Amino acid sequence: MTEIVKGGNLPVPGQVWRIAVVRRDADDGVPEVDASALLLDASGRVRGDGDLVFYNQPVHASGAVRLLDRVRDGERRVADWLEIDTERVEPAVRRIVITASSEHGTFGQVPGLHIRTVSAATGEQLALYEVDDASTETAFLLGEFYLRDGAWKFRALGQGYDSGLVGLAEDFGIVGGDPEPAHDDEPAPGHEPAHDGPDPVDEPVSVGASPEAIPEELLAKVREAEAEAALVRTSQQVPAQRLSRTGPRSDAELFGGEFPEFVRSGEGKADIVVDVPVPAGWVVVESTRRGDGYFAVHSIDEEGQRDALLANTLLKDQGARRVLRYDGKAPLRLRVSSSEPWTVAVRPVSTVEVLDGTAEGRGSDVLLYTGPVGQLTSRLRTRLGFEWFNVHGYEPDGRDHLLANEASRFPRETRPLPEGPLLVQLVSADGDWSLKVRPPKENRFWRRASR
């Protein structure tokens, strides 16, 4: 990671970045702080009130900028997370400014204020700027992402305002906080844009990489991780008729909130810290490995010991998709055991498919069941000749229902299926599986006779 001073800049590789606005928790006289973002055109102004992303408007209409969850850690720090996807940035947008504001105090009362930029593809810390000269300001321009010669760069700004978020927004064309349509008019008197005119000259960064070059090994990691993530997403696509199976949003939300997906690639053994804001609840951990040999993924407890088993195979080019119940008390950490290249992704429960009668797949997988009480028939066809097949159903509060547990040449088992919502976890080293949901036995005859 490169630490920069006010005015310093550096290239930011990759397509998607996550930005944390970090400070001490709001207690003991520390005022509450809110992060926001402004999308600016070539004149340094917004095109309308929709170009302000803040707590009352957390997603830009283009999807390019999102305000994510607020996260607190055990060291009494709090961070507002934002995400920028440059592929979705509209051509008219030339700058994205990250800001912070406080309605009940000044930034001289906010210790530890800094902004941190992270590559969403690799989790690499790209840039850190720490504000060390705040006094009576109630709003700050912390940093900006801007286009230069077709490439995106980050600059530390450190410009303060005594007029809060409203005054800051007015300087960029949002008058009084009221809706204003996009326009190309000249700025109103007294509201000249803070960055009107040509781009300022780039200044060198304070430490680390040259402003015009970033370490080639980091660029290579970003390129490899983004390619791997695209490969994983493509390999997980299913036929259109299965993609149409989406259950009620509320059922998925019972298991945990939304958060930006986390993807990390590497080679060999590694401990991973999931540095996106993951709320307490259930998460889906997907892993893939190229090559053969032993491959395993575990969660790590607070003492650094291996906890839940999330992948375990000796088969070539294999991985797993499993669920993990996360308590939210400490950063989620994972341990990868491998000698070959691998990719691990952490995603919300809302990304899994819904089991709505029948389903087919291969290897370890997760489905969401939202239906009534029934009977579940689980079947596995394997090339190994003898295989263990295990299926669990997890309720939002963690209660576990064993739905199949069979070791034979052709495992097949039927067991009662509780009323949904349930996360249905299938564990199989290899083989094609199928699931079929039927009505409870006592109702089957009545259903036939009533037709």
What does the pLDDT read at residue 297? 92
State how far the Cα of 258 lies from the Cα of 277, in Å rounded to an integer: 9
10 Å Cβ neighbour count for 3?
Answer: 17
**May I ask the CATH class of domain 2-211?**
mainly beta
Reduced DSSP (H G I as helix, E B as strand, rest coil) percent helix, strand, coil of the chain, to 5: 15, 45, 45
Give DSSP secondary structure letters for 60-99.
-TTSSEEEEEEEE-TTSEEEEEEEEEGGGS-TT--EEEEE
Does the domain at 352-451 match CATH 1.25.40? Answer given as: no
Give DSSP secondary structure letters for 386-418.
SEEEEEEEE-TT--EEEEEEEEESS-EEEEEEP
Query: Domain boundaries in the chain?
Result: 2-211, 352-451
- Tell me which H or E stretch contains 250: helix 249-253
Question: Helix or strand or coil: residue 286?
Answer: strand
State how far the Cα of 94 lies from the Cα of 145, in Å rounded to an integer: 8
What does the pLDDT read at residue 72? 72
What does the pLDDT read at residue 177? 41
Q: Which residue(s) pair with 11 in the sheet?
A: 153
What does the pLDDT read at residue 430? 65
What does the pLDDT read at residue 93? 94
Spatial CB neighbours of 391, under 8 Å, sequence gap ≥ 6? 376, 378, 402, 403, 404, 405, 424, 425, 426, 427, 435
Q: What type of residue is 20?
A: A
- Tell me whether strands 353-355 and 365-369 are parallel, antiparallel or unpaired: parallel
CA dihedral 87, 91, 93, 98 (to 10 degrees): 10
Please list the rounded mean pLDDT of every run of 10 residues in the chain (451 residues). Answer: 82 88 76 90 89 88 86 74 91 94 86 87 83 88 91 90 83 61 36 40 42 50 51 37 36 86 90 90 92 87 86 80 90 91 92 90 89 91 68 92 78 88 83 87 40 37
What does the pLDDT read at residue 287? 92
